[in-house]
Homo-oligomer: A and B are copies of this chain.
Amino acid sequence: MVIGDLLSNSAVQAWAIASVLLGLKTMGAGVYTSSLRIRNHVYNAPEDYVMQGHEPPQEPDESIERARRIHQNDLEAGVPFGLIGFVYALTDPSTAALWICFGGFILARTLHSITYARALMPHRTIAFSIGFLILIWMAIASLVELIG
């Protein structure tokens, strides 16, 4: 069957594993935000405060704003990866390129979240930049293959 054939390709396999891991990683940022909300009694909506029996805080909670920025940055990286990653896999790159791009991206994005949560600079910028450059590389390599 065609479907089995598609997943039997090692580039598509590598993309599939990376894509699922990135999905889980992004969801992890949401779980992290939620856990801080529960711990700090800072919720999403007025009805949540009523249900939990707490008052909204006077000022935004910085740890939760930080968690939201981490999650938002994951979306800002996850959308381009979703748009570029599968196309790149379909151009059937070398095994070395696959490992560097997909493995490197998951690692860079995970380190970005950890360094952001711990307020580590310039580590956060380095992790972000590595992920960004990998996306640029995959995009250019794909376009060269598609148009060139």
Q: What residues make up the interface of A, taking CB atoms closer than 8 Å to B?
A: 1-9, 11-13, 16-17, 19-24, 26-27, 30, 44-48, 50-51, 62, 66, 69, 71, 74-76, 78-84, 86-87, 89-92, 116, 119-122, 132, 135-136, 139, 142-143, 146-147
Contacts and interface: CB of A to CB of B under 8 A. Distances in A.
Contacts of A78: 79-80, 82-83
Contacts of A13: 146
A11 B17 contact: no
* A interface, over-half SS: helix
A87 B146 contact: no
A71 B77 CA distance: 12
A23 B135 contact: yes
